[in-house]
Amino acid sequence: MRKVCVVITARTSYTKIKPILVALKANPQVELKIVCAASALLDRYGKVELTVQKDGFSISERIYMVLEAETLLTSAKSVGMGVIEFAGAFDRLRPDVVLLMADRYEVIAPAIAASYQNIPLAHVQGGEVSGNIDEKVRHAITKFADLHFPATERARDWLVRMGERPETVFCTGCPSTDVANEVIQNPTIDFSVYKKYGGVGSHPNLDNGYIIVMQHPVTTEYADARKQVGETLHAVSELNRPVLWFWPNPDAGSDDTSKTLRSFRENNDCKWLHFMKSMEPADFLRILYASDGIVGNSSVAIRECSYLGVPAINIGTRQANRERGPNVADVSHDRFEIRSAIERHLNGRVERSNLYGSGNAGKRIADIVSTVPLSFSKSIGYLT
Amino acid sequence: MRKVCVVITARTSYTKIKPILVALKANPQVELKIVCAASALLDRYGKVELTVQKDGFSISERIYMVLEAETLLTSAKSVGMGVIEFAGAFDRLRPDVVLLMADRYEVIAPAIAASYQNIPLAHVQGGEVSGNIDEKVRHAITKFADLHFPATERARDWLVRMGERPETVFCTGCPSTDVANEVIQNPTIDFSVYKKYGGVGSHPNLDNGYIIVMQHPVTTEYADARKQVGETLHAVSELNRPVLWFWPNPDAGSDDTSKTLRSFRENNDCKWLHFMKSMEPADFLRILYASDGIVGNSSVAIRECSYLGVPAINIGTRQANRERGPNVADVSHDRFEIRSAIERHLNGRVERSNLYGSGNAGKRIADIVSTVPLSFSKSIGYLT
Amino acid sequence: MRKVCVVITARTSYTKIKPILVALKANPQVELKIVCAASALLDRYGKVELTVQKDGFSISERIYMVLEAETLLTSAKSVGMGVIEFAGAFDRLRPDVVLLMADRYEVIAPAIAASYQNIPLAHVQGGEVSGNIDEKVRHAITKFADLHFPATERARDWLVRMGERPETVFCTGCPSTDVANEVIQNPTIDFSVYKKYGGVGSHPNLDNGYIIVMQHPVTTEYADARKQVGETLHAVSELNRPVLWFWPNPDAGSDDTSKTLRSFRENNDCKWLHFMKSMEPADFLRILYASDGIVGNSSVAIRECSYLGVPAINIGTRQANRERGPNVADVSHDRFEIRSAIERHLNGRVERSNLYGSGNAGKRIADIVSTVPLSFSKSIGYLT
Amino acid sequence: MRKVCVVITARTSYTKIKPILVALKANPQVELKIVCAASALLDRYGKVELTVQKDGFSISERIYMVLEAETLLTSAKSVGMGVIEFAGAFDRLRPDVVLLMADRYEVIAPAIAASYQNIPLAHVQGGEVSGNIDEKVRHAITKFADLHFPATERARDWLVRMGERPETVFCTGCPSTDVANEVIQNPTIDFSVYKKYGGVGSHPNLDNGYIIVMQHPVTTEYADARKQVGETLHAVSELNRPVLWFWPNPDAGSDDTSKTLRSFRENNDCKWLHFMKSMEPADFLRILYASDGIVGNSSVAIRECSYLGVPAINIGTRQANRERGPNVADVSHDRFEIRSAIERHLNGRVERSNLYGSGNAGKRIADIVSTVPLSFSKSIGYLT
């Protein structure tokens, strides 16, 4: 019996964690522990903890760590709070292995809390290239991690080049493709978006196509956050097409984004525009799959949409250097560029790609993490 | 004018930081800020902050972060406290660049606090191989750092393989060789060890040779800390040679070590044995240079002693895989092995080596960090 | 020269602190230090720090301490964070005396941080009776404080009964009456509420009278917060009178209040309703002075409005037991009671009262705190 | 079934808490939860948690909160850490009532953590007078507490005067008298002090009388801590009587005390002197009961010794204003005064007193706390 502890810190990463949780829960050799932390507990970001529970999982520990203000200073202090609280949680839970997802700023906290207590660490989605603080965090977590589940072959190669032993690196694909795969199998949308998920703004008719927007503030361009979101707002406002706009994550700057959105909504007639918080992952992918395409800078546009064949306009530098399939068109933070790219590009499904996995990553990760020999001791010295 | 902030967290790293500080202070283009943290402020570990001030430097911020108890849990929580406090300190100081040394567990705290606030980070002594939590911490700091000052060519190669741009990696050698170089130029010991530094225990005559012992607990072998230090104690007790024993650092387990030492001293007649806390770095190297050799698991034995040509008995796994010169003999935690290695090996000076530098690292690091273009943005993507 | 450090943690208390700050700043014998903390730094609560600066004061330290989530758990943890951060701030500022206002949950943090570092503590508005966690906090701060500036004679008596030496207790009145006094001297409103302060909702015509609403969630009735605010919303919605509604403070529950308000606004036609964040204190009192009256559970209704002669409907238990003048009518959280009280009671100015001061408290407090002998040592033993 | 959570933070308070724990554990209507915190977990202060477990109690949560350095700054920050950690512990344990003992600086942390989460709070030993930061802390805890168990009638009166409702104040006596009562019933010492408890220093013969010393640093006289302990050391060194010296608590300054003691021991021939850490409470009282008397500034000398009839020399201001029986002689920090008081006063048993209780406090407190109606809502307004 192996005690596997999985950490959930945000709505977007939960989408990718859920297939792993499902497989871990189904495995009789696994005692599953779930820790929910950071924005996963916060109302402003859709409180994913409720979805986690509705999905049939029980939460062992809740970690409140977000120091309000959303400046770079408070982001850093929030990580400190997170280290303190995760250390206590892991000391109480005493897991055999802790599994972390990706690269959000707060994920370094459980990585340290586990490593410093000699608890083996598994990391999903290491080795990728993105070009900002996320990339620093991602590779730093790699250097703490003892097991790696990269999503692509290029990521796998990077992990080995960085000194991780090949036998600890498993290229399983990204579990987001698992959900995408289910959606392709069963694409029917059996709910009303507005009734089931609420949100604010108008209720444009979605029957004849619509666009999804999902744009996060870019930490290192903090001061420009308002301007950037404004460009996108103006671009989509001129299209006369329905838009579902999803609120951003709790990074530094997201409050400014929120204000810009709110103020735009209050000062313009926005019959075409509806704002939403999070959806259940599979619902979201169905909405995405049925859409004309996605605009913004979310990794969903690169990852799930390449598997689904949904066209995407990727704005700015946030996803710079991330591997992309044929579904993505890149533009800068300029309303005219954005608008013209949407008009050219968002016209029906494009070719699908297995770049980010083949739809069975969750099961493979769960199988490996529950059976592979565990160690918290590693060194690049094995090569020298 | 560039504002350079240097972090000091422990006695041992201060030895290597001082040559950099001296060069930075002498540079009229640099505004030097010093942050003292963790055990550097604690009486139990020799309060290096006092030495820093006596050396003519002024301290801008003091960061108390060590949560008492010295379990793995409190080590982790101490890091969390450190992140919170360093974040505030850097927010107040607003440095252009933060410079960190090496790999002690607490150093990850300023690395995060700086990176998350978009402050460029310089790291001295990255890329080395040691095989425990220190190695994880060291490489994680590398992944946050924007400038690198490795000590050896092998370390330089590792940093580049891990994805650091070659133009950000400067193989300057280890500044500990700078102090060693001064000591070789002027080896005269113009003080009485016992008078100047106190300590407890007997006052064996040092005129006809003596042995230095410096043994740190090994985090991942926490439970064995007592046993391990006991083996060394017994080994040196049978030699009939004077021993100067230096107290260990505040890692998890060091309290157990202290207890073992204290209890041994109280239950045995130890005419040959004197216990000490920290010395001023140059004094310490002179004492080392004049000694018959060093026993334990300190990196001093590998680094400074290779440059000085002082023979060293390295015990156990703490320095596993660290590059070593011809001065080092490795043994396991076994009193008979240790004793016989001392008898065979600690008989006069051995060949000197430039493996860890050529005695001018401090000046070179200071020159580069104060003039090189700074950035907090990096990506391994430059290669792909 | 005495270094006086004043702590500001929220919009409402700043109203009362400003007259003290003005007098301290004008005093050449005083070196004034201001620490802004908690919701005073947060956008969601009107970021009073900006007002403080616009009023000509400079802020020495900013203390981010609000752990997001607004549960009782995070309120408690926020206090812990506050103690850590205030301790550091006071250690850096080294004030001769720290001055705190009132009884919000976070104010216990600077009280502890000062007392535990032997810094004399002055407390404004102790000795009052309110009947919830605020009262516990208020009296606990009293027991840490060395100087007391109660607002009323009854409060003064209570402080002495609790063991505070009479010579350390100065009944100066509440500085909120100072602002009220200025407003009475010069009641002209020379700005447009909507232009100067924005806010959301409709822009009802304010020329023929309007009602102010200010209702805070009551901590110990957390679950009922939504229901309570709903009763008030319905009551005022039926009046056909313009309403300016001010958003509540960041206590546990305020997020629920916000949601209720937002949802009401989106689901009803609210031509009569405008929502606002904070105003500059004097502007606010002018708006209040010119209004038909105030509804809710704010202490402004009890305190400033008694001095101004503005009628007030006080709802529920939040102000239970607070001394009140003839301007206040009490009702429970019931829409019919609230409505009928408004109709009966909110019809023009009522008799003014000096119960809470005579309009010169700020000057008196500043004079005393800058000249009285200071000590951090006290005991109820002087009586026995 | 009522869930009662008892907090233990130090060796000395455990002596008084144990009789309550014994009675609570024996009560089938009580689910007992124990939280150990602060110095109760630290080796340097005798790790009382081990005694707690040996006494048959199980510990539900451990709270590491002591930030090392022992300055006033770190004491304050430790409290902040304590609030954060206690808040989490109480959130997990969800007790019906939390019971706290006395007035050590760290006890304010659980008081806040419980009160801010609406958990009723019971406080043992409120209402006493001592004249330093302890007194501030004690009364502040009183103002958070909902149930009070003062030790003396005078303390009871004070609590009521401070506004606590008489029906929430129960004068049960101090549970330290319970242990003292047991010791009087069975005074036989069936162990060897040196064998059972170790310690360091000489092993003077205790058969013909000996003196106990227990002297804590006084926070507000931080700089003088070394000098004060030195006076006592010199005084007892001149007596030619065996001395058992107990190490002080982890307050600011205690490190200096320890250094003074250690250095004295190393520089003097101390055949008469033995240093000890904590003992099991009953053992300690037996040793005390069999002694010639106690010297220092511990409350044990005032409290337990008045019940036992053991003569005490109380030094300095730490116990100023505390009620005392006929067994106490007060002196200042002067070696001659101390010595002459010992010679005059420490010559055999003195009259016993019931000032601090009649030996059944633990049972009475446990009975009341497990049956009395609980509330977290209180106000001094009931009087007005």
Series of mean pLDDT values for 10-residue runs along chain A (384 residues): 97 90 97 97 90 96 94 97 98 98 96 98 94 92 98 96 96 94 94 91 92 83 78 92 84 65 81 86 92 94 94 91 91 96 91 94 97 94 74
Chains touching chain D at 3 or more Cβ pairs under 8 angstroms? Answer: A, B, C
* Whether A117 and B72 lie within 8 Å, measured CB to CB: yes
Q: How is residue A294 written in tokens?
A: 């996605």
D-chain residue closest to B250, CA distance: D68
pLDDT digits (tens, 9 = 90+) for C40-76: 999 888 899 999 999 999 999 999 999 999 799 999 9
Instruction: Give the model's pLDDT for residue A223.
Output: 65
Q: Which of B111-120, B185-194, B278-287 has the lowest mean pLDDT?
A: B278-287
Among A76, A116, A129, select the one facing B379 at the smallest CB separation.
Answer: A129
Residue with tokens 């209780």: D357
> Nearest by CB to C69, which of A42, A73, A200?
A42
Q: Do B88 and C85 touch (CB under 8 A)?
A: yes
Say if the Cβ atoms of A69 and C64 lie within 8 Å: yes
Provide, as residue numbers in chain D, all residues whose Cβ is less than 8 Å from the Cβ of C139: 143, 163, 380
Which residue of chain A is at minimal alpha-carbon distance from B130? Answer: A379
Q: Does the beta-carbon distance from D255 to B74 stay under 8 Å? A: no
DSSP state at residue C327: T
Report the percentage of chain C scoring pLDDT > 90: 76
b/e burial code for range B181-212 (CB count within 10 A of at least 16 → b): bbbbeeeeeeeebbeebebbbeebebeeebbb
Q: Say if residue C202's pLDDT is above 60.
A: yes
Strand extents, DSSP E, chain B: 2-8, 30-37, 61-63, 97-101, 121-124, 147-149, 200-201, 211-214, 243-246, 273-276, 293-296, 312-315, 328-331
Interchain CB distance below 8 Å, D88 and A85: yes
pTM metric for this prediction: 0.88
Interface test with A, best of D83, D90, D92 (most A CBs within 10 A): D92
As a whole number, the mean pLDDT across chain D is 92
pLDDT band at D248 (very low <50, low <70, confident <90, very high): confident
To the nearest whole Å, the CA of B104 is away from the closest chain C CA by 24
pLDDT of residue B72 exceeding 70: yes
**Which residues in chain B have their CB less than 8 angstroms from residue A108's CB?**
112
Chain A residues whose C-beta sits inside 8 Å of any chain C C-beta = 41-44, 64-69, 71, 73-74, 77, 81, 200, 250, 255, 259, 262, 266
Q: Pick from A144, A197, A212: which is nearest to A377 by CA?
A: A144
Say yes or no for a CB contact (<8 Å) between C220 and D376: yes
Identify which of A64, A71, A200 has the shortest CB distance to residue C77. Answer: A64
D14, D15, D18, D20 alpha-carbon torsion, rounded to 10°:
-100
Name the closest residue on chain B to residue C82, using Cα atoms. B84
Interface residue ranges in chain D relative to chain A, Cβ cutoff 8 Å: 84-85, 88
Asked if the model's pLDDT at residue D384 lies above 80, the reply is no
**Separation in Å, CA of D319 to nearest CA in chain B:** 28
For residue C141, the chain D residues in CB contact (below 8 A) are: 140
Lowest mean pLDDT segment, chosen from A187-191, C1-5, C92-96, C200-204: C200-204
Q: C15 forms bridges with which residues in the sheet?
A: none
CATH top class, domain C181-345: alpha beta
Residue D83 structure tokens: 């609030």
Residues paired with B313 in a beta bridge: B295, B329
Closest residue in C to A72 (Cα–Cα):
C64
ipTM: 0.86
Give the Cα separation of D296 and D311 in Å (integer).
Answer: 12
At residue D19, the pLDDT reads 95
Q: Residue D66: CB partners within 8 Å, gap ≥ 6?
A: B67, B68, B69, D38, D39, D42, D78, D106, D250
B64 neighbourhood in chain D, CB within 8 Å: 67-69, 71, 73-74, 77
- CATH class of the region D2-174+358-383: alpha beta
pLDDT band at D342 (very low <50, low <70, confident <90, very high): very high
Q: Which residues contact A180 (CB under 8 A, 6 or more apart)?
A: A285, A289, A304, A307, A308, A359
A84·D84 Cβ contact <8 A = yes
Chain-centroid distance, C-alpha B267: 31
Model confidence at C107, pLDDT cuts 50, 70, 90, reads: very high
Closest chain D residue by Cα to residue B201: D266
Long-range contacts of C333-336 (CB under 8 A, 24+ apart): C333/C224, C333/C227, C333/C228, C333/C231, C333/C232, C334/C231, C335/C231, C335/C232, C335/C234, C335/C235, C335/C238, C336/C235
Average pLDDT over every residue of B29-45: 95
- Other C-beta atoms closer than 10 Å to the C-beta of D289 total 18
Q: What is the pLDDT of residue C249?
A: 62
Give the one of C67, C73, C255 whose C-beta lies nearest to A43's C-beta: C255
Contacting subunits of A (3+ beta carbon pairs below 8 A): B, C, D
Give the pLDDT of residue D251. 52
CA angle A85, A89, A90 (to 5 degrees): 120
pLDDT, residue C221, reads 60
Q: Kindly report the nearest CA distance between residue C251 and chain D, in angstroms.
A: 11
The C-alpha atoms of residue B203 and residue B222 are separated, in whole angstroms, by 31
Residues in chain A closer than 8 A to C50 (CB atoms) = none
pLDDT at C340 over 60: yes
| Residue B103 pLDDT exceeds 80 | yes
Residue to mutate among A59, A84, A93, with most D CBs inside 10 A, is A84
Which residues of A are less than 8 Å from D80 in CB distance? none
pLDDT digits (tens, 9 = 90+) for B288-334: 999 999 999 998 999 999 999 999 999 998 887 788 999 999 999 99
Cα(A196)–Cα(A54) distance, integer angstroms: 14
Of B72, B113, B376, which has the smallest distance from its Cβ to A76's Cβ?
B113
Per-residue pLDDT, D34: 98
**Residue D311: its pLDDT value, please?**
97
Residues of chain B contacting A132 with CB distance shorter than 8 Å: 377, 379
Looking at beta carbons, which residues of chain A come within 8 Å of D85? 88
Local structure of A276: helix, strand or coil: strand
pLDDT confidence of residue D12: 81
pLDDT value at D144 more than 70: yes
Neighbours of B318 (CB within 10 A): 23
pLDDT of residue B255: 67
Q: Which residue of C63, C65, C77, C84 is the best one to mutate when testing the B interface, meaning the one whose CB has the most B CBs within 10 A? A: C84
Q: How far is B94 from chain C (nearest CA, A)?
A: 14
Residue contact B72–A116, C-beta within 8 A: yes
Residues of B whose CB is below 8 A from D65: 67
- Over residues D345-360, mean pLDDT: 92
Of A68, A79, A251, A260, which to mutate for an interface test with C (greatest number of C Cβ within 10 Å)?
Answer: A68
Instruction: Assign A61 to helix, strand or coil.
Output: strand
Residues in chain A within 8 Å Cβ distance of C203: none
> For the ranges B147-161, B272-286, C162-176, D97-111, which has the lowest average pLDDT?
B272-286
- Residue ranges of chain B assigned to CATH 3.40.50.2000: 2-174+358-383, 181-345
Write out pLDDT tens, residues D261-284. 778 877 888 899 998 887 878 899
Residue B274 CA to residue B30 CA, distance in Å, equals 42
3-state secondary structure A142-185: HHHCCEEECCCHHHHHHHHHCCCCHHHECCCCCCHHHHHHHHHH
- Chains A and C: how many Cβ contacts under 8 Å? 49
Q: How confident is the model at residue D54 (pLDDT cuts 50, 70, 90)?
A: very high
Q: What is the pLDDT of residue D250?
A: 54
Record: contact C84-B84, CB cut-off 8 A: yes
> Residue D113 and residue B225: Cα distance in Å, rounded?
37
Candidate from D65, D67, D259 with C-beta closest to B66: D67
Q: Is B148 helix (H, G, I), strand (E, B) or coil?
A: strand
pLDDT at C105: 95
Element of type H or E holding D198? none
Tokens standing for D220?
Answer: 């507000």
Residue at A300: amino acid letter? V
- The shortest CB-CB distance from C64 to any of A41, A67, A262 is to A67
Per-position DSSP letters for D11-33, written without gaps between them:
HHHHHHHHHHHHHHHH-TTEEEE
Nearest CB among B64, B77, B81 relative to D69 is that of: B64
Q: What is the model's pLDDT at position D383?
A: 74
Residue B80, pLDDT above cutoff 80: yes
Residue A197 CA: distances (Å) to CA of A146, A280, B156: 39, 9, 53
Please return the burial class of C321, using the count of CB atoms within 10 Å of its CB with bins 0-12, 13-18 and 19+: middle
| Beta carbons of D69 and B255 less than 8 Å apart | no
Contact predicate C47/C126, CB 8 Å: no
